């Protein structure tokens, strides 16, 4: 029986386990990436491990999230990150160089490599045929220290593409079509592997758009083969020597199959407040639009901005609509300036923002009260834009450009002949804003720079045999990490200060959560399906842990958040019978005996209602050991000791 591309690459990196779906495996990690919102904590954890230098082939620290400098906190953290990179052997991508996923795709991602990133959209690297997985910062810190990355061997879904995209339909519409079919939890513990004759019509940046937003399906990662199109891209980036051909076997067997005829696709849109709420643009065309934001790691490539610029050429945006453009990298900006296409955007009335995440992460450019905002981003969660009352829709660059000219949601197919764009045969390569690692003999003399906002890690102690406390909060299905630990310009600068950032845990769900948690010495959270979907931010586990959270009991978990809970000593449990969720109320007092954890069967005693509720879990033996130690950091320290 032949192998899928996913199986081939995982097999090459396999350290423990077998290629048996759903079983626990451990793989060697070749590359890591961090960004500044998650990186400060990841490197504090790396320092705590006590390794003198990263042990990966390549590790890169990017600054792209916390670039809004309203006080000392963000620039202090940037200096900390730069000094860490110098001391421990990392590349450092300076502020203004670009968004981590776009820059990594351009300059570092390689076919066949295993990349682990402390950002949930790390699967962008699958656009060049790498196994690129998002994870919590502690998992990335451990990988930099030479530890294997542990996960469930995923199922592999073949997304088989045929045909060719019609005019004004783009890669964003392909991944929106996937989301329309399987939703935001349809690919949990699965890899979306793209094949078929249709992939030959998609460039690497277009493939990167698809693998990037595949994260919103819950997928472990997404991947395209490394073929002639990959080779052409790497050669244009002056990295042709890094190309290798990587394709699935002709007789590869997949666990599931999704067939999409690109000829049949049309412009799509995700309605508030989920990437899975997908409709065709024509179904709701005419909606008045207040703001349009183009960019993010999903749609900020040179291809995307060229298309937008040429649609905007010689025109002016609607007088009642604001347009922002966030290029993905300096390389993109260089090309747009030299071709003259940046002028088309400026002259149309676009506000050109920094090469950073910006509005996508709520870092500035929040829309007005009750605004309708169209975004080429990957997420439209409630309040993520910075304005809780805003209605955020996700669209392609083509739909965004057509709509900002009209001031209302517009099917781009109605605006006339599509523009022709010319992509360069060779990209402008200038890595002067990427600082390479220092040699070990110089690195040992580097002094780590720490600002006053960087506080020590919270103490992680071994778990007791019995957990006791009350239900601090009961929540519904699809609770995101934005619900648990919001982002935005006010909160992101506190990422290295857990006592301060913990004041914002669940603030948009229940403003009293922080105070009640401290008053009651912690307790439990009860939730529905897909708890913890969205960002990889481990602060959604660390900050609740600081407040005394002991266990989370839900119908099901999102992959990365479950791992983050384990990493910080919070017990993740699921209902053996999902209907038992209805037998619990906020304020109930619980008692949970953990001595039966290894059996996979745990009893929750609801003391308030005098009932026993059976629970289960998907934890491996290693994860149980990590929990008992109090978390991954003490577990690693024990191992090294």
Which residues are catalytically annotated? 64-65, 119, 379, 535, 537
Given a contact cutoff of 8 angstroms between Cβ atoms, the answer to whether 155 and 73 are in contact is no
* Residue 279, both tokens: 């409709």
Residues in Cβ contact with 570 at an 8 Å cutoff, skipping those fewer than 6 apart = 541, 544, 545, 549, 550, 551, 552
| 632 torsion bin: left (phi>0), alpha (psi -120 to 50), beta (else) | alpha
- Torsion angle, CA of 464/470/476/482, rounded to 10 degrees? -70
Q: In angstroms, how far is the first alpha carbon of the chain from the final one?
A: 44
597-to-471, 571, 581, 603 alpha-carbon distances in Å: 20, 10, 20, 10
Calpha distance 341→423 (Å, rounded): 12
CA 486 to chain centre: 14
Calpha distance 532→480 (Å, rounded): 5
Cis peptide preceding 298, ω within 30 of 0:
no
Secondary structure (H, E, C), 597-636: HHHCCEEEEECCCCEEEEEECCCCHHHHHHHHHCCHHHHH
If one counts every other C-beta atom within 10 angstroms of the C-beta of residue 415, the result is: 17
Q: Which of 619, 514, 616 is nearest to 565 (CA)?
A: 619
230-to-87, 128, 205, 246 alpha-carbon distances in Å: 34, 6, 10, 10
* β-sheet bridge partners, residue 93: 62, 434
* Residue 301, both tokens: 């490539």
* Residue 405, both tokens: 């000219």
Q: In a 3-state reduction of DSSP, which class is residue 131?
A: strand
Longest distance between any two alpha carbons in the chain, whole Å: 72
* Residue 201, both tokens: 């019509």
Q: In a 3-state reduction of DSSP, which class is residue 278?
A: strand
Residues in Cβ contact with 203 at an 8 Å cutoff, skipping those fewer than 6 apart = 229, 233, 303, 423
* β-sheet bridge partners, residue 270: 278, 394
Given a contact cutoff of 8 angstroms between Cβ atoms, the answer to whether 203 and 296 are in contact is no
469-to-153, 381, 589, 608 alpha-carbon distances in Å: 35, 31, 6, 11
511-to-190, 471, 473, 508, 553 alpha-carbon distances in Å: 35, 16, 11, 7, 21
- Torsion angle, CA of 509/512/514/516, rounded to 10 degrees? -130
């Amino acid at each position: 029986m032949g192998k899928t591309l996913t199986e081939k690459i995982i097999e090459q990196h396999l350290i423990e386990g077998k290629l048996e779906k759903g079983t626990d495996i451990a793989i060697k990690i070749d590359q890591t990436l961090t960004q500044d919102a998650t990186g400060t904590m990841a490197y504090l954890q790396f320092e705590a491990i006590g390794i003198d230098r990263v042990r990966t082939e390549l590790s890169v620290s990017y600054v792209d999230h916390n670039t809004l400098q309203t006080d000392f906190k963000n620039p202090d953290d940037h200096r900390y990150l730069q000094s860490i990179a110098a001391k421990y052997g990392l590349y450092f991508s300076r502020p203004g160089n670009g968004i981590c996923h776009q820059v990594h795709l351009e300059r570092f991602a390689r076919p066949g490599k295993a990349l682990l990133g402390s950002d949930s959209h790390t699967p962008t690297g699958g656009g060049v045929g790498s196994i690129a997985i998002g994870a919590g910062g502690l998992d990335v810190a451990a990988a930099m220290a030479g530890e294997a990355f542990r996960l469930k061997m995923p199922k592999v879904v073949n997304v088989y593409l045929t045909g060719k995209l019609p005019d004004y339909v783009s890669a964003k519409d392909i991944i929106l079509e996937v989301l329309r079919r399987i939703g935001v939890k349809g690919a949990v513990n699965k890899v979306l592997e793209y094949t078929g004759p249709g992939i030959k019509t998609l460039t690497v940046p277009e493939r990167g758009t698809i693998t990037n937003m595949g994260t919103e399906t819950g997928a472990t990662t997404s991947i395209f083969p490394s073929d002639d199109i990959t080779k052409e891209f790497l050669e244009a980036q002056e990295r042709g020597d890094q190309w290798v051909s990587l394709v699935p076997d002709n007789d590869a067997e997949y666990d599931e199959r999704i067939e999409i005829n690109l000829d049949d696709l049309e412009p799509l849109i995700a309605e508030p407040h989920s990437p899975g709420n997908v409709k065709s643009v024509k179904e709701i065309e005419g909606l008045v639009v207040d703001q349009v934001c183009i960019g993010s790691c999903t749609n900020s490539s040179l291809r995307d901005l060229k298309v937008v610029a040429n649609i905007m050429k010689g025109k002016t945006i609607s007088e009642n609509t604001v347009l922002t453009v966030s290029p993905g990298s300096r390389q993109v900006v260089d090309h747009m300036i030299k071709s003259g296409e940046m002028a088309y955007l400026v002259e149309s009335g676009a506000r050109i923002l920094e090469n950073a995440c910006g509005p996508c992460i709520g870092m500035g450019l929040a829309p007005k009260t009750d605004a309708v905002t169209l975004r080429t981003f990957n997420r439209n969660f409630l309040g993520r834009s910075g304005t809780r009352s805003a209605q955020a829709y996700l669209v392609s660059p083509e739909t965004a450009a057509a709509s900002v000219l009209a001031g209302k949601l517009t099917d781009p197919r109605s605006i006339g002949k599509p523009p022709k764009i010319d992509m360069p045969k060779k990209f402008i390569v200038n890595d002067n804003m990427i600082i390479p690692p220092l040699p070990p003999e110089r690195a040992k003399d580097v002094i780590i720079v720490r600002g006053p906002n960087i506080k020590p890690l919270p103490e992680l102690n071994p778990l007791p045999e019995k957990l006791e406390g009350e239900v601090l909060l009961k929540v519904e299905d699809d609770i995101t990490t934005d619900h648990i630990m919001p982002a935005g310009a006010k909160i992101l600068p506190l990422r290295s200060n857990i006592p301060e950032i913990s004041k914002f845990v669940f603030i948009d769900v229940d403003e009293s959560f922080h105070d009640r948690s401290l008053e009651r010495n912690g307790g439990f959270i009860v939730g529905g399906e897909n708890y913890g979907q969205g960002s990889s931010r481990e602060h959604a586990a660390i900050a609740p842990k600081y407040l005394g959270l002991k266990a989370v009991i839900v119908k099901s978990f999102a992959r990365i958040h479950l791992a983050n809970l384990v990493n910080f000593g919070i017990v993740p449990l699921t209902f053996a019978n999902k209907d038992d969720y209805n037998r619990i109320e906020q304020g109930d007092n619980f008692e949970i005996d953990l001595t039966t954890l290894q059996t996979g069967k745990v009893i929750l005693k609801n003391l308030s209602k005098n009932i026993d509720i059976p629970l289960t879990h998907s934890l491996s033996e290693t994860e149980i050991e990590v929990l008992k130690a109090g978390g991954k950091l003490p577990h690693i320290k024990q191992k090294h000791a």
